[in-house]
Amino acid sequence: MNATRISSSTLIRSNAKDLERELAWLSLVIDTRLKLFFGQECNYSSVLELSPPNLDNSDSPYSRLVLHYKMSMAERLMLILGLAPHIRPKVLDVFFSRNSSLDRIFTEFGGELVRDEKEFIPTGETLSFLLSGNDLEFRIGLQTLFEPEHFFTQHHIFDFGWRPAGYPILKAPLRLKDEYSTYLTSGNKYYTRFSLEFPARRLETELGWRDIVLNSKTLTMVQEVDNWIKHGYALQHDWGMASKLRPGYRALFFGAPGTGKTLTTKLLGKSSGHDIYEISLPMLVSLNLKEAEKKLGLIFEQAEYKQWILYFDDADVLFGKKEHPTNRLGTSASQVFAYILHMIDNFQGLAILAADFTETFDKVLSRNFESMIYFPIPGPNERFKLWEQNLPKSAQLDKDVNLRLIAKEYELSGGEILSTIRFVSLRALERGHNMIRQNDLLVGIRKELAKAGRRA
């Protein structure tokens, strides 16, 4: 625990040091441009004489980003301008200076006043003023920093998505995406939160591969998916298969609830270092097609450049195995689901769909997936292992409890076994001791079987 804190503290200290240097450079650029603009005495004839700090020997989050993209002076200035309102807004207070002849702030300064005109948000015009002054050629050249092909937009460092068609590009506020403002200040990774605007939830687990029990055939097929995560890029690009294989990888995990489909997905993400986001199909059903397209577009766009694994639980609905309702807006869910399948089919990353149905698949459906992996109810030996490794360490089994016999006689999924363990553990705690009784186990098992419509 201390090592983590020390590491985090060191990271913040290193980042703050580099940001202080960058802010000092920004202040000097602003001061120099204003002196030149107002015709005051100045030690420089151009702000282009003011080189940004050398970050070559630094390993802070800020320096890593700058060095990774080999940022030019203009790109560096744009980045620190976008970050300034988050870390040192008073650096921008000089832009509140008013043009006395017009009784308003100078048009040349650009910027956007927010929070009752108490805060100045730099825009492309601010960047243009600082770097080019009245140099029209330089100003036009700066517009390339705002184009879709530039890494600022392609890699979602800045958010220019608000700009209406035909609106001057340099009027765009220099707003950093949340993930970058977080990363460039604290060094921490920012995780997009589940909301009505972003109907996808990040999945994670503290468990490891030794905590899941799968039969050998299922585990072998899961390994194929893991191989694609590790080597898919090399296969497509280094081995020249990109033109022959469709982009991405689609896997269908199917089998009864509680057989390990979701946990397997979490473990694939955890072991490979990829974030997993589960897309909420029920939330998408409530939207009209246009809204669904917009929200899904945002999710898939982020997933591709951030290399997320996308997970769709209860995917039976996508294939017509469950009823397709019409939502309150009059849009058939099948329209939304058809669009989801289209997005999945063209996704360049890994998409995992989990379904409960186990009937034989037709050939048309099979062609939609690179892998189709069946998660069966665990057999007696697997069930025994699940009972053994999931019972609380502090619990004791009563002398008449025979776990191997229970595992043999009662066909339960891993999820049902865990639910039963929770039931009997709570009963033991209620009695004030740690003894797991046979009768409680049987009651808990019957409850699980009844929930699934099966008899003991």
- For residue 415, give every residue at least 6 positions away whose Cβ sits within 8 Å of its Cβ, in sequence order, or none: 257, 258, 259
Q: What is the pLDDT of residue 330?
A: 46
pLDDT in tens, 61-87: 999 999 999 999 999 999 999 999 999
Stretch 356-374: mean pLDDT, rounded? 74
pLDDT, tens digit (0-9, with 9 covering 90-100), for 369-385? 999 999 999 999 999 99
State how beta strands 104-105 and 98-99 pair.
Answer: antiparallel
The bridge status of strand 249-254 relative to strand 119-121 is unpaired
Q: How confident is the model at residue 260 (pLDDT cuts 50, 70, 90)?
A: very high
pTM for this model (two decimals): 0.74
Q: Are strands 119-121 and 371-374 parallel, antiparallel or unpaired?
A: unpaired
**Per-residue pLDDT reduced to its tens digit, 185-233:** 888 877 888 888 889 999 999 999 999 999 999 999 999 999 999 999 8
The answer, yes or no, to whether residue 367 has pLDDT greater than 50, is yes
Task: Please give the full DSSP string across 304-332, using - where no structure is assigned.
Answer: HHHTPEEEESSGGGGGTSS---B-TTS-B
Amino acid sitting at position 283: M
Instruction: Tell me how far apart the alpha carbons of residues 291 and 331 are, in angstroms, rounded to a whole number.
Output: 11
Average pLDDT, the chain: 88
Question: Mean pLDDT lowest for which of 74-83, 219-228, 282-291, 387-396?
Answer: 282-291
CA distance 173 to 114: 11
DSSP state of 235: I
- pLDDT exceeds 90 at position 357: no
Residue with the bigger pLDDT between 449 and 319: it is 449
Task: Express each pLDDT in 405-414 by its tens digit.
Answer: 999 999 999 9
The three-state secondary structure class of 352 is strand
Residue 162: is its pLDDT beyond 70?
no
Q: How far apart are CA 161 and CA 156, in angstroms?
A: 10
* pLDDT of res. 51: 94
Closest CA to 416 of 366, 382, 373, 367: 382
Residue range 13-20: mean pLDDT, rounded: 91
pLDDT of the residue at 7: 57
The DSSP symbol for 173 reads B
270: enclosing H helix or E strand: helix 261-272
State the pLDDT at residue 259: 94
pLDDT value of residue 329: 40
3-state secondary structure of 454: coil
**Mean pLDDT value of segment 55-60:** 90
Distance between CA atoms of residues 77 and 52, nearest Å: 8
Confidence tier at 315 by pLDDT (50, 70, 90):
confident
User: Residues with Cβ < 8 Å from 402, sequence gap 6 or more?
Assistant: none
For 235-257, what is each residue's pLDDT tens digit?
988 899 988 888 899 999 999 99
Strands (E), 333-424: 350-355, 371-374, 396-397
Give the residue from 275, 271, 278, 272 showing the smallest Cα distance to 209.
271
- The residue-averaged pLDDT of 356-380 equals 79
Q: Give all strands (DSSP E) within 88-162, no chain letters.
A: 98-99, 104-105, 112-114, 119-121
Residue 133, token pair as written in the block: 């002054």
Calculated CA dihedral for residues 142, 144, 147, 149, nearest 10 degrees:
-150
- Listed residue (448, 386, 405, 388) closest to 423, CA to CA: 448
In this predicted structure, what is the pLDDT of residue 446? 94
Residue 210 is which amino acid? R
Percent of the chain past pLDDT 90, that is, above it, reads 59
Q: Say how many C-beta atoms besides its own lie within 10 A of residue 375's C-beta.
A: 25
Q: Which tokens go with 52?
A: 């940004």
Whether pLDDT at 39 is above 80 = yes
**CB 198, CB 299: distance < 8 Å:** yes
Burial class from Cβ neighbours inside 10 Å (0-12, 13-18, 19+) for residue 427 reads middle
Q: 140 is written with which tokens?
A: 């036009």
How far apart are the C-alpha atoms of 246 and 261, rounded to whole Å? 25
User: Which comes out higher in pLDDT, residue 417 or 323?
Assistant: 417
How far apart are alpha carbons 244 and 110 in whole angstroms?
49
Contact 292, 339 (CB under 8 A): yes
Please answer whether residues 285 and 336 qualify as being in contact, where contact means their C-beta atoms are separated by less than 8 angstroms.
yes
Spatial CB neighbours of 273, under 8 Å, sequence gap ≥ 6: none
Cβ 83 vs Cβ 16: under 8 Å: no
pLDDT at 105: 80
pLDDT band, residue 154 (cuts 50/70/90): confident
